[in-house]
Chains A and B, each alone.
Chain A
Amino acid sequence: MKAITEGLFEVSVQRPFLVVLMIMMMILAAVYGGSKLIFKSDYRVFFSEENPQLSEFEKMQATFTKNDSVAFIVAPKDRVVFKEKTLAAIHTLTTKAWQIPYSSRVDSITNYQHTTAIGDELTVEDLVLEPELLPNINLEKLKNIVLNEPVLYKKLIAQDASVTVVNATIQLPGIDPVTELPEVVTKVRQIQADIQKAYPDLEIYLSGMIMLNNAFSESVLRDSATLIPIMFGVVALTMALLLRTISGTVATIIIVMCSILSTMGLVGWMGFYLTGPSVSAPTIIMTLAVADCVHILSTMLYEMRNGLDKKMAILESLRINFQPIFLTSATTAIGFLSMNFSDSPPFRDLGNFVAIGVMLAFIFSMTIFPALLSILPMQVKPEAERKADFMSKVSDFVIAKRKVLLVSFSAIILMLAIFVPQNELDDDFVKYFDTTIPFRQSTDFMQDNMSGLMTQEIEVNSKESGGIHHPEYLSVLARFSDWMRAQPETDNVNILSDTLRRLNKNMHGDNPEYYRLPNDRELSAQYLLLYELSLPYGLDLNNQIDVDKAASRIVVTTRNMTSTENIELEKRVSAWFEENAPQYTAIIASPNLMFAHIGQRNIQSMLLGTSIALVLISLLLVVALRSVKFGFISLIPNLVPAVIGFGLWYFIDGRVGLGLSVVIGMTLGIVVDDTVHFLSKYLRARRTQNKDIVAAVRYTFSSVGHALWITTWVLVAGFMVLAQSSFKLNASMGLLTALTIGIALIIDFLFLPSLLMSVDRDKQGNDSVVIAEENKYVVN
C-alpha cells in the first residue's frame, strides 16, 4: 500500500503535466453531468415520501382541490381600499391575473359572487362587475358587505379595509418543474409592474405558496452571486496571509474548483437534483478541500525551509500527510453521511454531496495538487518563528494552568449543557428567508396588515355518504367555527356551515333572522345544489366537499406562528373534535404543520444517525491511534464542541429547526480532524520519542498547533460565509457549525491537554516499557 501510494506521488511530481492532463480529462467528463442538475423549487422537497404529515396533506389534496396560490397584496398609500380608483385597479388586476399561466381561479373583492335576495328573486353577481359601474356604486355599502362576509374577512380584505388581496389559484402541471414556476412568476411580476405603473398610488406585494417556492430558487441565486465569490476571496486571502505563497494559493483554488465541479457533475450523472439546503454543498466542499491543501502546503513549506528542494519537500509532505488526511477525510465523510438518517431528503443529499466532494478533494490533493505545485514556481522566504512562539506560549499556559483549565472548562461545559434542551424547536418557513428576500418582506407585510400565511386544514369526515347534509354534522361545524374564531391565533375560518347559513338567509328574502342552519337534511342538500348551480368559473364544491359528500374541509388561516405554537394549536383543535364530535374523524394537515413537525422528526432520526457515525468514527480512531484508551478519550473533544455550541446557541438565537438538527453529525466529522491531528502527534511524541506528558504536549503544540490554527481559521471563515446566506436554514447551519468548529479548537488547545495531563499523571515515569512496546505499531 505504502509503496503504491508513494509510487503514485512520485509520478505526480516527476510527470506533473501528464497527471494534470489525465485528471483534468476525468474531471471534464464528470462536469458534463452538471448540466443535468436541476434546482427543485418546491417546499414539498423537504419531506420524504414516507413523511406522515406530507402523506396526510397529499391525501387531503387528492380528496379536495389542490391549491397553491399567488397573493397580490394591494396596499393603497392612503390606506383606503374602498374608493373608485383603487377598486378600478383591483378590477384590472383581477382581469390580468386570469392570464397567469396555469391559473385556474382568481378571487378578489371585485369579483366576489355576492348574492342578494328580494322576495323570491335571487341575484348573484360580481361585487364590481365593470369598473365603469363604480360611480353608481355606494362604496360605504360595498365596504360593509365585504367586511361582513366571513369568507373575505382578513382573507381578501384587511380588518380596517386598508389593504386587500387578489388571490390567484395556480395548478402547476408538474411536468417540467424547471420552467413552470419561473413562467408563472415572470407573468406575476409583469402584472405587478404594470399595475404599479398604471396606479402609482398603490404598493403591490407578492406572497402565497407559489412565491414561497420561488423564494427558494431566488435566495439560491442571490447566494451564488455573493457567497461563492466571497468564499473564493476568503480562501485566497487566508492562503496568502497565513502561508504567504501565491503559487500555493493558485494551486489550492484549482483543487477547490476541481473538487466542486466534479462533485456537482457526478451527482448530476447520478440523477440528483438541487434544493435549498443542498446548494450549500459547494461552499462546504470548498472549505474542506482547502483544509487538505493547507496541511500539505504547510508541511512542504516547513521542509523547504529546512533545506529540502521543492520536489523532495512535496514528496515528504505527501508521505507525512497521506494517512492523517485520508483519516480526516474519511471521518468527515462519515460525519456527513450520517445525514442520510435525516427525515428530510435535501439534507440527505447535502450529506452525500459533501461526502463525495471530500473524498474527491482527498484524491485531488494527493495527485493533481502535488503535480501543480511541482509545475508552479515556489520560493520560500525564511520566516520568523513568530507562530511557533505563539504556540509555545499557549502550551506553557496550558501546562501551567492545567488544573484551573480542567475545572473551569468542566464547569462551563456542564453549565452550557443545561441550556441545550432549552432551545426551542422552530421551523417557520417564512423565516427560512432573511428580510432581504421579497417573499419575506411581503409575507411580513401581509402578517402586519391582514393575516398570516399559515393554515390548518381540517377534514371532518361524517363516515357516511351524504353525511355532510345532516343537521347534526352542520351544527358541529357551526359550533366549531364559533370556537375557532374565538382563538387568538385565528384570522379566517372558511367553513361549510357559513355557506349554508348565508344560503338560508338568501332563500328567506335576506331576512337576517334566517342566518342559521337549515334544520333538515334535504333542505341542506338542495341548498348546496343551488350553491353549485351558482358557482362561477373556476370554482366548484370540491374545494370544500369530497365527491361522496361524506366529508368537508375547513380551512383556518392563522397568523404566522412558530412550530411549537402550530403544534399546540393543532392539538387544541384535535382535542375540540375529540370532545365535541367523537363520532366524526378530524384530520388536520397543512404545509406549515408539515414544517412544524419535521424539525422534531429530524432531530430524532439524526440522533440515531449521529450515534452511528460516532461509533464508526471512534472505532476508526481506535484503529488509527492504536489505542482503545485514547479512542475513548477522543470522544470528549469530539462531542463537547457540539454540546457547547448548542448551549451557546440558546443565547444567540434559541431556535433549533431542520437546518440545525444536522449540525452535530456534520461537525462531528470535522472536529474529529483536530482531535486526530492532536492525539496522533501527542502519541507519536510519547511513543517514538519517549517524551513525558508535559514534553509531549509541548511537542504537539509546536508541530501541529500552527496547522490546526490555520485550518480552523479556514473552516470557521468558510462556514461564516455560509452564515451570510439569505436562506436562513443554511445561514444558521453555517453559523452554528463555525461556532462549533471554533470551540473545537479551543477545546483541543486548552481542555484536551489538561485532560491528557490529568489522565496520564500517575503513569508518568513507569510507563516507558509500555510505550516502547507500543512504538512498534506506530506508522508515522
Chain B
Amino acid sequence: MLLTSNKAVLTVTNLSAWVFWGLLLGLSGVSFNVGAETAEEKGLAIATEAKKRDLGWGDSQSTLKMVLRNAAGQESMREIRNKTLEVRNDGDKSLNIFDYPRDVKGTAFLSFSHPIGSDDQWLYLPALKRVKRIASRNKSGPFVGSEFAYEDLSSFEVEKYTYKFLREEACQLGSCFVIEQFPVDKYSGYTRQITWIDTVEYRIWKTEFYDRKNSLLKTLSMTGYKQYLNQYWRATGMEMVNHQNKKVTTLTWNDYQFRTGLTDADFNKNTLKRAK
C-alpha cells in the first residue's frame, strides 16, 4: 500500500512516447490522428509525463500521522512509519509499521501493489507472533478505517486508468490540467476520477472520486508540496473528504528520506517479524 501519487506531468514533445502510445491506442481501436490530438491522447500523455517525472527515486522512508474525523467531529489518530521501494514496470512495494495506538504497536503490513489484479499482502501481528498472508480483492476497501481506499494510496501507474483531457484552468498550484481517469480494474470502487495536475511540475492538486453510481464520493486535496532530490515532489498534507458520510481523513507526511538503501530484502515476508 502506499502512498505516492504526487506526480504529474506534461506532455508533448517526446516523439518516441507519442509513437508508442499511438500504437497502443491504435490497437485498442481508438483512431489516432497525428494532426489533431484527441482528448484521450492528451490525457494519456499528461499521465505518462507525470509518471515519467516521478521515476527513479529508488526508495523512501517517512512517517505518517493519520487523523480520522467522523461527522460528529470526534477524532482518532494513528502513527505509522512507511517504507517504500520503487518497482519498475509494476506497482511499488511498501511496508507500514504501526507505532500508535499502543495496542497495535509493532503491527507491520507489507504490500506489493499491482496495477491490475490483486495486491500481495502480508500482515505481522506481534501479539500472535506470526506473519499472515492475506489474499484479498478489496482494493476498493478502506485503508485502516480511513476514507482512503487502498487504490487511492497505491503507487500511480499509467496503465491503471484510461484518460481523457478535459480542460486547463487556474488552480492553487498555478495552472492545472484537468483530466478524467477511468479505472481499468473492474473491482475498482470508482467509475471515474477527476484530477487537477499542475502544468509546470505535474503535481496533483486535487482529485475528485465518483462512486459506482457516478456520484461524487470524495475529494482529495494535497498541500505543502516539497521537492526532494531536486526532482521528486511529495505533499506534506493530504485531506480526503467523504461527501456522503461526512467523514474526513487527514494524512500528514514527515521526515521524508530518499535513497536510503532499502532493497527487496527489506520488503520480504520472512523478515516482516523483524521489521522495525
Contact = CB atoms under 8 A, between A and B. Distances in A.
Given A62-B71, A103-B213, A547-B75, A532 B135 contact: no
Interface in B52-85: 68, 70-72, 74-76
B265 interface: no
Contacts of B70: 62, 542, 547
A403 interface: no
Contacts of A525: 101, 103-104, 127
A631 B117 CA distance: 86
A537 B133 contact: no
Interface in A520-538: 520-527, 529-530, 532-537
A14 interface: no
A469 B105 CA distance: 14
Interface in A265-300: none
B208 to A, nearest CB: 17
A523 B128 contact: yes
Contacts of B259: none
B140 interface: yes
B231 interface: no
Interface string B126-142: 11101111111110111
Contacts of A523: 125, 127-128
Nearest to B68: A547
A292 B179 CA distance: 70
Given A101-B215, A122-B135, A535 B142 contact: yes
A527 B133 contact: no
Contacts of B128: 507, 523, 526
Interface stretch (B41-49, B143-151, B221-229): B143-151
Contacts of A103: 213
A529 B104 contact: yes
A529 B135 contact: no
B2 interface: no
A535 B74 contact: no
Contact of A541 (B134, B138, B145): B145
B245 interface: yes
Nearest to A100: B213
Contact of B127 (A99, A121, A522): A522
Contact of A527 (B125, B137, B189, B213): B125
A466 B101 contact: yes
B141 A529 contact: no
A529 B245 CA distance: 21
A322 interface: no
B107 interface: yes
Interface string A706-721: 0000000000000000
A540 B145 contact: yes
A63 interface: yes
Nearest to A506: B132
Nearest to B136: A124
A549 B72 CA distance: 15
A549 B76 contact: yes
B14 interface: no
Given A62-B72, A100-B213, A529-B98, A534 B245 contact: no
B205 interface: no
A673 to B, nearest CB: 51
B123 interface: yes
A751 B138 CA distance: 77
Contacts of A173: 244
B109 interface: yes
Contacts of B141: 534-537, 539
A98 B244 CA distance: 14
Most chain B Cβ neighbours within 10 Å, of A125, A171, A540: A540
A546 interface: yes
Nearest to A121: B133
A123 interface: yes
Contact of A536 (B121, B131, B140, B145): B140
Given A171-B244, A526-B107, A529-B98, A537 B138 contact: yes
A122 B134 contact: yes
A731 to B, nearest CB: 38
Nearest to B118: A125
A531 to B, nearest CB: 10
A462 to B, nearest CB: 13
A125 B137 contact: yes
Contacts of B142: 532, 535, 537, 539-540
A623 interface: no
A548 interface: yes
B135 A123 contact: yes
Contact of A124 (B127, B134, B215): B134
A102 interface: yes
A461 to B, nearest CB: 13
A564 to B, nearest CB: 33
A139 B265 CA distance: 43
A513 interface: no
B103 A522 contact: yes
Nearest to B72: A62
Contacts of A530: 123, 125, 132, 134
Nearest to B188: A537
B57 to A, nearest CB: 26
Given A104-B244, A122-B133, A529 B107 contact: yes
Nearest to B186: A130
B212 interface: yes
Given A469-B103, A526-B107, A535-B138, A120 B131 contact: yes
A122 B212 contact: no
B125 A526 contact: yes
B148 to A, nearest CB: 11
Contacts of A99: 212-213
A400 interface: no
Interface in A154-172: 171
A535 B97 CA distance: 19
A120 B123 CA distance: 10
A548 B74 contact: yes
A224 interface: no
Given A120-B131, A526-B107, A547-B70, A171 B101 contact: no
Contacts of A62: 70-72
A768 interface: no
B163 to A, nearest CB: 23
Contact of B103 (A100, A120, A466, A533): A466
A741 B198 CA distance: 77
A650 B107 CA distance: 64
A102 B125 contact: no
Contacts of B76: 547-549
Contacts of A778: none
Contact of B130 (A65, A123, A507): A507
Contact of A125 (B71, B104, B136): B136
A537 B211 CA distance: 10
A536 B101 contact: no
Nearest to A117: B132
Interface string A124-151: 1110010000000000000000000000
Contacts of A532: 142, 144-145
Given A100-B213, A525-B101, A534 B134 contact: yes
Interface in A476-529: 507, 518, 520-527, 529
A185 B132 CA distance: 44
29 contacts: A63-B74, A101-B215, A102-B215, A103-B213, A121-B133, A122-B135, A125-B136, A129-B137, A173-B244, A466-B102, A522-B104, A523-B125, A525-B104, A526-B107, A527-B125, A529-B107, A529-B125, A530-B123, A530-B125, A530-B134, A533-B109, A533-B143, A533-B144, A534-B138, A535-B138, A535-B141, A537-B142, A547-B74, A548-B74
> Which 3 pairs of residues, A with B, have the shortest CB-CB distance?
A525-B103, A523-B127, A537-B140
Given A120-B133, A171-B244, A539-B142, 19 more contacts: A63-B72, A121-B135, A122-B135, A124-B136, A125-B135, A507-B125, A518-B127, A522-B127, A523-B127, A525-B127, A526-B103, A529-B98, A529-B104, A529-B125, A529-B144, A532-B144, A533-B123, A536-B141, A547-B75
